[in-house]
A = this chain, B = another copy of it.
Amino acid sequence: MYEDLKYWYLRDHKLFRTLSYSQIKQLCIITGFKKASKGEIIYFSTSDIPRIFLLKKGNIKIVAIDDDGNETIKDIIQKGDLFGELTLESDNKNEEYAKVLSDDVAICSFLMSDFEDLLLKNPTLALSYTKFVGLKMKRIKNSYANLISKDAKTRLYQFLKDWAEQEGIWSGNLVTIENYLTQNDIAQIICTSRQTATQLLNEMESKNLLNYNRKEIIITDITKI
């Protein structure tokens, strides 16, 4: 990996726009730059030195396994997102892994300690990062608030709305979303069973609210969702 290319990979992220070339180069001692393709599983080996990851391309999901062996989707990471121990607090006991959803992904990573040093030397970045983490928290709070005490249908609608807002291609009230999730994934995200999700999606399709297939979801009229 050429230093310059690494530089651009980071520079590209809005969080790092305030940094100078030399500052980014500092981070770029980055060991990690990784490519992976659909279905691959990436472990954040707990023994390893704590890192922060930046997804440059594609989509992945973070999955946790509880004591009973149940899979729970903890997060969907999209292009441009930072992930990993954003808390800057390493956690030893997490049984988490990432699974690649899109055709292929590119991930860069850097050491948490390097990042911390950089934050200390660069107050503006520190503030941006603080806001970034805060925003992420707000998102989580909101999405959970929606999950709970609403029924499955409402949750699905809300999820689709969010998804459309984040990634949809809009033309008027018609929104097209690239669909890299299976119905099972969607079910897990909105915390319902696969069957219920399937049923609701079909119901929506028969009401002409949307058009579902494995490649894309076309929402006929976003205002009706």
Contacts and interface: CB of A to CB of B under 8 A. Distances in A.
Interface in A10-47: none
Contact of A130 (B88, B147, B149): B88
A137 B133 contact: yes
Contacts of A49: none
Given A191-B148, A191-B149, A127 B126 contact: yes
A70 B149 contact: yes
Contacts of A121: 123
Copy number in the complex reads 2
A70 B154 CA distance: 15
A32 B127 CA distance: 24
B89 A137 contact: no
Given A74-B145, A145-B72, A88 B127 contact: yes
Interface string A120-138: 1111101101110111111
A210 to B, nearest CB: 23
Contact of A140 (B64, B144, B149): B144
A4 interface: no
B137 A140 contact: yes
Given A141-B140, A147-B148, A120 B123 contact: yes
B74 A141 contact: yes
B137 A86 contact: yes
A116 interface: yes
Given A72-B149, A145-B74, A89 B140 contact: no
A137 B74 CA distance: 13
B135 A137 contact: no
Given A140-B144, A145-B72, A89 B134 contact: yes
Given A120-B126, A126-B127, A137-B140, 10 more contacts: A72-B145, A74-B141, A88-B127, A88-B131, A116-B127, A121-B123, A122-B123, A140-B141, A147-B148, A148-B191
What 10 A-B pairs are tightest by C-beta distance, nearest first? A87-B134, A126-B126, A137-B137, A144-B144, A120-B123, A148-B191, A130-B130, A123-B123, A88-B131, A87-B138
